[in-house]
Amino acid sequence: MHQRSIAGVTYSFGRAAQRKGDSLSGPAAFRMRRSPQRSIVNAGGSALDGWKGSLKSVLVGALTGTAIGLLGFLLSQNHRPDTMGPVLFMLVPFATGFAIGILSQDTRSLIAASILAAMFALVMLIAWGWEGTLCVLMAIPLLFIGLGVGAALGLLFNKLITKFRGGNNNLTLTSVVLLSMPLLILAGHRVEKSTLIHPRR
């Protein structure tokens, strides 16, 4: 008798579950079946958007770094070997790296943009005959030190500004900083040039 009662209760629960499943055979059941697919599509779309954002950050940073690097080269020396000094080998890479850092989203995009900018700028200098291949190879270690320090400080500056502004970066401030990089290089070159023309006694 006890076993029959248990079997009856089990049968009742089974029928109730079946009726509930049948009641979801319409739009509700369709939504339940479609929800895992929607989750996969949303996850794929988010990953694609993130990849596009990182690629855009790398390209913008690399192009900006290349432009500042080439402009800094022109501003820091007048194609005369006696005016090449710390500004060209340290300040120009630092300003280039800082500009890349404030435009980067994360460390990976920062590294990729820095390497691309350095490659583009150095290849252009060699292709245009402004520098020799041997001189470029000898200067690479020193250039990358300044580039790395500037890039790290630029990324830190970008994160601090974003944090203080509640997750929104200030485009005006970023533009001002970018425009100030060539002025910084030009000021450093003038100071360096005055010390070369009038050396300390």
pLDDT > 70? residue 172: yes
Could you read off the pLDDT of 90-148 as tens digits, one per residue? 999 999 999 999 999 889 999 999 999 999 999 999 999 988 899 899 999 999 999 99
CB under 8 Å, gap of 24 or more: what pairs does 6-9 form? none
Residue 24 backbone class (left: φ over 0; alpha: ψ -120 to 50; beta: rest): alpha
Dist CA 196 CA 184 (whole Å):
18
pLDDT of residue 125: 93
0.75 surpassed by pTM: no
Q: Which residues contact 140 (CB under 8 A, 6 or more apart)?
A: 122
pLDDT of residue 50: 58
Dist CA 167 CA 149 (whole Å):
24
Joined together, the tokens standing for residue 10 give: 């089990």
Q: What torsion, rounded to 10 degrees, do the Cα atoms 77, 82, 85, 89 define? A: 60
Could you read off the pLDDT of 132-157 as tens digits, one per residue? 899 899 999 999 999 999 999 999 99
**Among 154, 144, 156, residue whose Cα is nearest residue 69:** 144
Q: Indicate the DSSP class of residue 199.
A: -
Dist CA 27 CA 106 (whole Å):
43
pLDDT of residue 191: 85
pLDDT of residue 17: 45
Percent of the residues in the chain that have a pLDDT greater than 70, as a whole number: 66
C-alpha dist (Å) from residue 36 to 21, 23, 30, 41: 18, 20, 11, 9
Indicate the range of 78-92, 137-151, 166-180 predicted with least confidence: 78-92
pLDDT of residue 111: 95
